[in-house]
Structure formats: structure tokens, C-alpha cells
Structure 1
Amino acid sequence: MHVVKTIEHSDKDRFYAELADQLSGLLSGERDAIANASNLSALVFDLVPSLNWAGFYFLKGGDELVLGPFQGKVACVRIPVGKGVCGGAVAQARTLLVPDVHAFPGHIACDAASRSELVVPLVRDGRVLGVIDLDSPLPGRFDEDDQVGFERLAEIYLAASDI
């Protein structure tokens, strides 16, 4: 059984290094992509402050994201590639950090309480497989340190999972 350890939040570099270590331990020995996505979502939702949603969308059929494991309120089930922050991250094959979702053209409001969003694409061999999506009720919640930290968590997830 994996025991989640509380991590001090004041030093973001250290926070994300410790979070990455915990995630590596949590996913060790398990290759199932859904099980690993479920545990990553739970770990992040438990330890990362000021989130109201943390989870996955997986690319299906090349043109649509479908809801995967998550923590938070009920969510949009299907998102077309190119629509909203998640679909935009897939279309551009890059992380999107949005300080104010209300200022993002075409934002899809699954939870009206969300004010900022960070979406990290899951890319293997140049192909986008899905995204890790994080929402916060705080405007400007995410910064470049969060982006780098979550891009590292995405790498760990991909390396540990048969996806």
C-alpha cells in the first residue's frame, strides 16, 4: 500500500520534485493506463493546493477527447480537438497555461467555478494520446513552475503506463 505524504508548498521546485518521487513510487510495478491515471488524479487532487478538478481526457478516433479518470465535480464527457483549452492543447501539441479561462476564446465551462486552467498533452513518439487537465477556482493559480512540474508528472505517467 502506498502512503501519501504531505508536501510543503512554499518551495515549488522541491514540491514538484517530491510529488514526482511519490508518483513514481505509486505507479511502480503497474502498467495499466487507467489505473495509473486514476492514482495520479487522486494524488494530485489530494496534494496540490487550490484545485477544483484534476484528471485526464484521452484522444479517441483522432478528433475527440473523452473523459478519463478524474477527481472533482462531474465533467464534460467529450471535447472536440481544437475546442476549449483541452482541445486546443491537443491541436497545438503543447501545454496551455490559462490564467483567466473567461478570457480564453472558446473556453468550455464544465464547472462555472473554474477560473484558471493548465492542460498538459500526453505525447508519445510525436503523437498526442490525451491530456492532463487541471482547473482552479483561483484566477492566475498556475505559473511556469506548475507547468514544468506537471510536464514532468506527465512524463512519469507515460513511462509507467501502457497507453
Structure 2
Amino acid sequence: MLSWIPQPYRDVAIRHREMVKFGLVGGTTWVIDTAIFLLLKSTILEPKPVTAKVISVVVATIASYMLNREWSFRTRGGRERHHEAVLYLLISGIGVAVYSAPLFISRYVLDLRVPAVTLFTEHLADFVSGQIIGVLVGMVFRWWAFRRFVFPHEDGRQKPVPAGTGAP
């Protein structure tokens, strides 16, 4: 699957495949988060960008759990599924605060909003603080916390056995 990646990057990708998968899931959920955030912020939640951000992060978090559990961290585990889900949601809840903090600071501490700045500047500041800075800080936090608390044990779940291998 990774044969399209040139050497020596392929060896790095294979060695860090869990992180690569986590990054791809993050990219996918970033698109989900961004699309919902921009849609809500430009329509029904125009005066409430932080609320729009929280909603978009919650939806992206649900997608993230499903993708990370079944793909990125599919061989990690060590917890019963309901404990794992509760920890994932708890850490993701903290992640919502981490993701939203730069947008909150931009809007309400630095006052980068109309009438103090132009509408274009407000939108640009919202995008940079919410979709770039917030996402990067949140991703680092979640990578560390998921591996540490939610999926703590390598080989914690059985790897799927390919059909027809005769394995019990």
C-alpha cells in the first residue's frame, strides 16, 4: 500500500505507520470540522462562532473515534470498549477546550472581531486561530492522550486474521 512513497520516506512511514494513520484521520476529520464550522458560522450561528466551533469539533470527534479505533489504533487497546469510549470522549472533551481556546483568545482577548477590525480580518483570524492553531495544538494533545490513556497497550487487541489462512 505504501509502495507509492519514495525511499527513504517509505521506511519512515512504515516505522511510524500509526502516526501516519492518525495524521490521515486527522486530515479527514479536519475537513469535516472545517466544513461544518464554516457552514454554521456563515449561516445559523453567524453571531456565535465559538458555538459553531464546538459543534463542528463534536461531530468531527465522533468520526475520529470510529476511524482511529478501527484503523489508526486497531491493534492497540487494553480496555473494555465502553471504558475506552468514555475515556476517548473525556479526552476529546478536553480537546474541545484545547481546540477552541485559540479562537476564544482571538475573538474575546485580542478583540479580532467587527467593529474593531474589518469583516475580512475577523474571518481570517477565526480561520487561523480555529482551524490552524487550534487544530495543531489539539492534535498534539490528542495524540499523546489517546496513546497514553485510551489505547495504552500495543497489541492490546487481536489483529484480524485474513480469511483462508487456517489460523484458529
TM-score, normalised via structure 2 length? 0.29
TM-score, normalised via structure 1 length? 0.30
Q: Is the strand fraction higher in 1 or 2?
A: 1
Pick the structure with greater CA Rg: 2
